[in-house]
Amino acid sequence: MAAVASSSPIGFTRVSGLHVSSSSEISGQTKLHCKPTISSSKSELFGGAVSVNLGNNSGRRRLPAVHVVSPRAVSDSNSSQTCLDPDASTSVLGIILGGGAGTRLYPLTKKRAKPAVPLGANYRLIDIPVSNCLNSNISKIYVLTQFNSASLNRHLSRAYASNMGGYKNEGFVEVLAAQQSPENPNWFQGTADAVRQYLWLFEEHDVLEFLVLAGDHLYRMDYEKFIQAHRETDADITVAALPMDEKRATAFGLMKIDEEGRIIEFAEKPKGEQLKAMRVQAYLYDGYWEDIGTIEAFYNANLRITKKPVPDFSFYDRSSPIYTQSRYLPPSKMLNADVTDSVIGEGCVIKTDADRRLLAARGGVPIGIGKNSHIKRAIIDKNARVGEDVKIINSDNVQEAARETEGYFIKSGIVTVIKDALIPSGTII
């Protein structure tokens, strides 16, 4: 048996007789959707119920009847007709969790939700799971948020057209913010509670599975293979997981799996007999994966994009592109510059700029970084103004410091200059 840590994509499909708690119950029944002459094998997907602990409120909720069979399940012996698994674009609903307040990523989350944090010069974290969904033919996507959602909402509305999903225009990427209602007077009490509070909306979609994803992970994954494995193993719930070494294991939820990939122990709840009664399957993912949950993880992930000879995560994979908002900016320009191991977004200018010197002479500090500045192990957020002859090198090796009024924080020894902050010329950090 191996110990693994969950990377958080979860698929729900057919289940039978599972009772974890009375908090919420989802059930669906699957039937053959072929001509009556077709005979079926035992690999048909017959529905039951799934119970998931999604919060303190109780109530039974049922999905509408659905029609699906496995590619191996049904064949017509007379005409050799076969009914295949339904297309992911019509049978799967993507649900991306926007996360909490993002305190570990502060100050990058001071004015934005965690999934809206910039990544790789041109992108936002939310572009990763959304692109994975679109590349996996999943075009119905909800993003659940509660904190600082204005920037995220604006990005999604501009980046992803409302007419996705083919000629029928059935696809969408929509933000669902926390809201109070007579049935749910409280804000989201956690990620599972966020899903529970919007079950009424999810159930309006005639789908077979919910694919629940984290919005702050960096990885590239084909969800269609994940969903197919989920259906073939006949599991109630399938959790995509990553083998983890002992050094990093304490930071994640740990699972033990048997030889067939079934989860038999979990470091968090559910526990004991409840877990043994569940048909919970692990789907082992062996690609690059990183939880962008801390300043240090964010810093390292961005540097690894420039890793030679092959980066840990590449934005240049044409077979599985990462989508984002089109900004229509001019190409970046570098004059008399020596730049290596860098990813530079569009619209950047790296040169000695007379206009910048003129503005500085008038007492202002332009957006960007002034001449003769030395910056090491630091993150400079959007629209920050760093003057000339500035040294951000943390020579005293300070690990933690909060200097918000001065425009920066230090976490894990990494200096983060706050969005829109001003660092005057001659400053030494």
Q: Could you read off the pLDDT of 81-135 as tens digits, one per residue?
A: 434 466 776 789 999 998 777 889 999 999 898 999 999 889 999 999 999 999 9
Kindly calculate the radius of gyration of the chain based on its CA atoms and give it in whole angstroms: 25
Domain with CATH 2.160.10.10 in the chain: 352-429
DSSP assignment, residue 105?
A: G
CB burial readout 170-206, b (16+ within 10 A) else e: ebbbebbbbeeeeebeeebbebbbbbbbbbeebbebe
> Which pLDDT does position 277 carry in this prediction?
59
> Which pLDDT does position 235 carry in this prediction?
85
Q: Which residue has the tokens 């966020």?
A: 194
> Which pLDDT does position 328 carry in this prediction?
82
pTM of the model: 0.74
CATH T-level assignment (fold) for domain 352-429:
UDP N-Acetylglucosamine Acyltransferase; domain 1 (2.160.10)
Query: Rounded to the nearest 5°, which phi and psi values hold at 16?
Result: -150, 125
> Which pLDDT does position 83 carry in this prediction?
42
Is it true that the peptide bond before 309 is cis, omega within 30 degrees of 0? yes
Domain with CATH 3.90.550.10 in the chain: 2-295
* Sequence-distant (≥ 6) Cβ neighbours of residue 130 within 8 angstroms: 96, 141, 143, 156, 160, 173, 323
Query: Which residues of the chain fall short of a pLDDT of 70?
Result: 1-86, 89, 162-169, 246-247, 249-251, 268-278, 352-364
> Which pLDDT does position 367 carry in this prediction?
78
> Which pLDDT does position 51 carry in this prediction?
27
CATH T-level assignment (fold) for domain 2-295:
Spore Coat Polysaccharide Biosynthesis Protein SpsA; Chain A (3.90.550)
> Which pLDDT does position 361 carry in this prediction?
57
- As a whole number of angstroms, the distance between CA 251 and CA 249 comes to 5
Measuring CA to CA, how many Å separate 409 from each of 37, 385, 399? 69, 15, 10
10 Å CB burial of residue 335 (0-12, 13-18, 19+) is: exposed
> Which pLDDT does position 17 carry in this prediction?
30
> Which pLDDT does position 82 carry in this prediction?
38
Nearest to 416 by CA among 386, 388, 390, 377: 377
